[in-house]
Amino acid sequence: MTPTIGILGGGQLGLMLLQAAIDWNLRVHILDPDAEAPCRTLCTQFTQGSLTDYDTVYQFGQTVDVLTIEIERVNVDALEALEREGKQVFPQPSVIRTIQDKRLQKQFYRDHNLPTADFILTENRAAVSQYSDFLPAFHKLGRDGYDGRGVQRIASSADVSKAFDAPGVLEKAVDFAKELAVIVARNERGEVQTFPTVEMVFHPELNLVEYLFAPAEITDEINQQAQAIARRTADAFGIVGLLAVELFLDKQGNVLINEVAPRPHNSGHHTIRANVTSQFEQHWRAILNFPLGDTSVYQPAAMVNLLGEDGHTGPAVYEGLETLLAMPGVFPFFYGKALTKPFRKMGHVTVMDSDLDQLRQKVAIVKESIRVVT
Amino acid sequence: MTPTIGILGGGQLGLMLLQAAIDWNLRVHILDPDAEAPCRTLCTQFTQGSLTDYDTVYQFGQTVDVLTIEIERVNVDALEALEREGKQVFPQPSVIRTIQDKRLQKQFYRDHNLPTADFILTENRAAVSQYSDFLPAFHKLGRDGYDGRGVQRIASSADVSKAFDAPGVLEKAVDFAKELAVIVARNERGEVQTFPTVEMVFHPELNLVEYLFAPAEITDEINQQAQAIARRTADAFGIVGLLAVELFLDKQGNVLINEVAPRPHNSGHHTIRANVTSQFEQHWRAILNFPLGDTSVYQPAAMVNLLGEDGHTGPAVYEGLETLLAMPGVFPFFYGKALTKPFRKMGHVTVMDSDLDQLRQKVAIVKESIRVVT
């Protein structure tokens, strides 16, 4: 009766999808290049193989009824072939194709009148040097940037040597007050449901979310703007599945799309504990064309990423777990990666409290207490 | 760093333990006689084998660091041998041995001054016939009774033919107002933490929990009695792990122990959604000697057991899932049993609402909406 589902990718997002899948007894096959991927022993069937190889993805797709992703760097040609043959592929390959390439993604916002920072498409480094009037800006690699790689700040002409000598997009630097995110779900019948707006605090150097507050501390008006933009973006893509919309709130009060991810997202991990429906359950609801779940909040939450400590590479050891487990409303989650390395995402901690000041205090203690070392 | 844990039993309780184990990336091996057990694809290692065979349990125990159970009908001799050799076995074999046998269990309450219905130990059917003054009573088989099997109501001497012709316990029928349950956890350092008292509504014929309300609608005084009895019972056993204490509230306002289970329990499934810490996470905390988790409640909850429809035996089909998924605060959970049969536990539905009347209305709709058929 229930369909067999395939996920491209077996990392932490796959792991949390599998955890949610247990409720409904979903049969899930996983494809991941790493024989030691976190999901390997927790799915109905695990296949080790490349996510970017046409034949591997195509053949994996043949073993399932519904195919989805937990990472967008996958072979979209194979997904399109599967879709043409009638396989359900959600999010749709066309959506993944647009989002995979930051150039197409930015152009998509412009074409659909969705607010985003001004940009110029560039073909190589020499092209970047022509736009000194446009600086300060970020130069982003069109394809294959990830977690801070593939982005360079070009403050002035002197920095042009840092630009990528490959197709990219030069994006005007936004003087932002806050970074926000809204995760939105859309199912095949076109129902759309957003999660409450969250506020991300980035690590000053690593371009990684260091911690997150939910709900964001913003005015109702800003919140409504953020929520509306997320809905409009999901509708513009016509996506079936989750879309995580990362936003800038600039100092003039404008809300601008930074980038999107067509899958569960780091900015929604707290929803496992803090919201009636988690982002992971919502993803299943969306791609299986079930009614979307209630996203309301039980308690304010924060989420702290557990990054591998600088200077430590090797088998991971988690110091301070005991302290965390003794704190009420503190929920560590480990991704089961055998090896830690500096700043690798090894887990996260959800922190909850009905009082916002208490919540902040708990976050400070959590950040002090736990370390991923070797 | 993290220990490998073994669970004897791979049914729905094992499944929910595995789901909770994902948060902490616990490595879990499962032993179950059924090659199609719900846990088979969701654990680090699955072994098909008998839970009551000495050698099978002993050898399985050798593969893990910490051994626990999700069902109490297991070979305790093997567990004791493992414990003697220094293996961590929680709950302790001595506790399982006492609870496995309803005669030892009842005698334990008497010896420890724990309130329970009056009883007489009987060796055979003929012995039961001597106690007509003690009727109405229940005759319970000492060992191997389960889910309504192994219990007979003996209303009068005319019913004595229904008594078991084997060692049993004749227990005075309690004229009860409500049936309550308190799940209590105790770790190796002796910390004890209870879950809020819940109220069980049994199916009139099947001796199975039909649905459950949390919190129970009882006075503070009764609640304190129930909570104190649960704590005292856990301390008396010195258990490490979870103890589910089923209680009668009689019409005079006395709280009496009905029976206990040394493991996660059907009366705590709602805690996955409704409480800060679920009974499953609490079990891991207790047996791994971590601080016990906060058991406070986000919202009042009910739990409806999904039983196989009468007259249907075969591959299971779940009718009405769409209706459930469209209701806010309604969380179905399916156990992944391939075959349904009349009154088999196939899943449960947790229902939550901040308003108790709304909660009751939702329960009524859920019970009307979903059916497990073939």
- Here the ipTM equals 0.94
A86: left (phi over 0), alpha (psi -120 to 50) or beta: left
Q: B331 and A23 in contact by Cβ < 8 A?
A: yes
Q: Tell me which chain B residues have a C-beta less than 8 angstroms from the C-beta of A298.
A: 298-299
Residue A107 has pLDDT above 70, yes or no: yes
Q: B41 and A38 in contact by Cβ < 8 A?
A: no
Half-sphere exposure of A158 (CA within 13 A, CB side): 1
For residues B255 and B248, is the Cβ–Cβ distance under 8 A?
Answer: yes
Residue A326 is encoded by which pair of tokens?
Answer: 């003794």
B115 to chain A, minimum CA–CA distance in Å?
Answer: 33
For the sheet containing B151-154, what is the strand order?
A: B119-122, B168-172, B137-141, B151-154
| B337 known member of a binding site | no
Q: Tell me which chain B residues have a C-beta less than 8 angstroms from the C-beta of A299.
A: 298
* Helices A279-287 & A12-21 angle (0-180, nearest 10): 70
Q: Tell me which chain A residues have a C-beta less than 8 angstroms from the C-beta of B290.
A: 321-322, 325
Interface check B17 vs A, CB under 8 A: no
**CATH superfamily ID and name for B118-172:** ATP-grasp fold, A domain (3.30.1490.20)
Over residues A109-126, the mean pLDDT reads: 97
Residue A221: its H or E element: helix A220-237
A23 to chain B, minimum CA–CA distance in Å?
Answer: 4
Among chain A residues, CA nearest to B351: A276
Q: Tell me which chain A residues have a C-beta less than 8 angstroms from the C-beta of B321.
A: 290
Number of helical H runs and strand E runs in chain A: 11, 22
> In chain B, positions 282-321, which contact chain A (CB-CB < 8 Å)?
285, 290-291, 293-294, 296, 298-299, 315-318, 321
Interface check B18 vs A, CB under 8 A: yes
Residue A1 has pLDDT above 60, yes or no: no
Task: Give the model confidence (pLDDT) of A3-32 as tens digits.
Answer: 999 999 999 999 999 999 999 999 999 999
Q: B42 and A38 in contact by Cβ < 8 A?
A: no
Q: Which of B200, B321, B357 is nearest to B267 (CA)?
A: B200
| B187 known member of a binding site | no
Higher pLDDT, A205 or A68: A68
Residue A187 has pLDDT above 80, yes or no: yes
Q: A23 and B332 in contact by Cβ < 8 A?
A: yes
d(CA A112, CA A34): 38
d(CA A243, CA A263): 6
Residue A29: its H or E element: strand A27-32
**A167 burial via Cβ count (<10 Å: 0-12, 13-18, 19+):** middle
Q: B24 and A332 in contact by Cβ < 8 A?
A: yes
Q: How confident is the model at residue A144 (pLDDT cuts 50, 70, 90)?
A: confident
Ranges of each domain in chain B: 4-89, 118-172, 176-373
Among chain B residues, CA nearest to A44: B41
d(CA A177, CA A186): 29
Over residues A88-105, the mean pLDDT reads: 97
Q: Beta strands A119-122 and A168-172: pairing type? A: antiparallel
Q: How confident is the model at residue A148 (pLDDT cuts 50, 70, 90)?
A: low
Contacts of range B160-163, beta carbons closer than 8 Å, 24 or more positions apart: B160/B125, B160/B128, B160/B129, B161/B125, B163/B122, B163/B125, B163/B128, B163/B129, B163/B139
Segment among A173-177, A202-206, B162-166 with least mean pLDDT = A202-206
Task: With H, G, I as helix, E, B as strand and everything else as coil, classify residue A187.
Answer: coil
Q: How confident is the model at residue A210 (pLDDT cuts 50, 70, 90)?
A: confident
Q: A326 and B291 in contact by Cβ < 8 A?
A: yes
Half-sphere exposure of B34 (CA within 13 A, CB side): 14
Residue A74 has pLDDT above 90, yes or no: yes
B275, β-bridge pairs = B297
| B179 known member of a binding site | yes
Residue A355 has pLDDT above 90, yes or no: yes
Residue A227: its H or E element: helix A220-237
Task: With H, G, I as helix, E, B as strand and everything else as coil, classify residue A320.
Answer: coil
Q: A334 and B24 in contact by Cβ < 8 A?
A: yes
Q: What is the CATH number of domain B176-373?
A: 3.30.470.20
- Closest CB to A294 among B19, B329, B334: B329
d(CA A340, CA A120): 38
Q: Tell me which chain B residues have a C-beta less than 8 angstroms from the C-beta of A24.
A: 332-334
Low-confidence ranges of chain B (pLDDT < 50): none
State which amino acid sits at residue B215: P
Interface check A113 vs B, CB under 8 A: no
A192 to chain B, minimum CA–CA distance in Å?
Answer: 14
Segment among A85-99, A189-203, B231-245 with least mean pLDDT = A189-203
For residues B148 and B204, is the Cβ–Cβ distance under 8 A?
Answer: no
Residue B181 is encoded by which pair of tokens?
Answer: 């349950």
pLDDT of residue B207: 67
State which amino acid sits at residue A230: A
Q: Which residues of A are annotated as a binding site?
A: 102, 140, 171-174, 179, 258-259
Contacts of range B1-4, beta carbons closer than 8 Å, 24 or more positions apart: B1/A315, B1/A316, B1/A317, B1/A318, B2/B26, B2/B27, B3/B27, B3/B64, B3/B65, B3/B66, B3/B88, B3/B288, B4/B28, B4/B29, B4/B44, B4/B63, B4/B64, B4/B65, B4/B66
Residue A201 has pLDDT above 90, yes or no: no
For residues B218 and B198, is the Cβ–Cβ distance under 8 A?
Answer: no
Interface test with B, best of A5, A22, A24, A294 (most B CBs within 10 A): A22
Helices (H), B63-114: 76-84, 93-100, 102-111
For residues A179 and A271, is the Cβ–Cβ distance under 8 A?
Answer: no
Interface check A15 vs B, CB under 8 A: yes
d(CA A182, CA A166): 31
Among chain A residues, CA nearest to B191: A326
Q: A336 and B25 in contact by Cβ < 8 A?
A: yes
Q: What is the CATH number of domain B4-89?
A: 3.40.50.20
pLDDT of residue B145: 72
pLDDT of residue B202: 76
- Closest CB to A276 among B291, B315, B329: B329
For residues A263 and A237, is the Cβ–Cβ distance under 8 A?
Answer: no
Q: A25 and B334 in contact by Cβ < 8 A?
A: yes
For residues A192 and A186, is the Cβ–Cβ distance under 8 A?
Answer: yes
Q: Which residues of A are annotated as a binding site for ATP?
A: 102, 140, 171-174, 179, 258-259
| B87 known member of a binding site | no
For residues A349 and A325, is the Cβ–Cβ distance under 8 A?
Answer: no
Total Cβ atoms within 10 A of residue A3: 13
Q: Tell me which chain B residues have a C-beta less than 8 angstroms from the C-beta of A16.
A: 22
Same fold, A4-89 and A118-172: no
**How far apart, in Å, do the first and last CA atoms of chain A sit?**
46
**How far apart, in Å, do the first and last CA atoms of chain B sit?**
46
d(CA B171, CA B258): 10
For residues A330 and A303, is the Cβ–Cβ distance under 8 A?
Answer: no
DSSP B116-131: B--EEEESSHHHHGGG
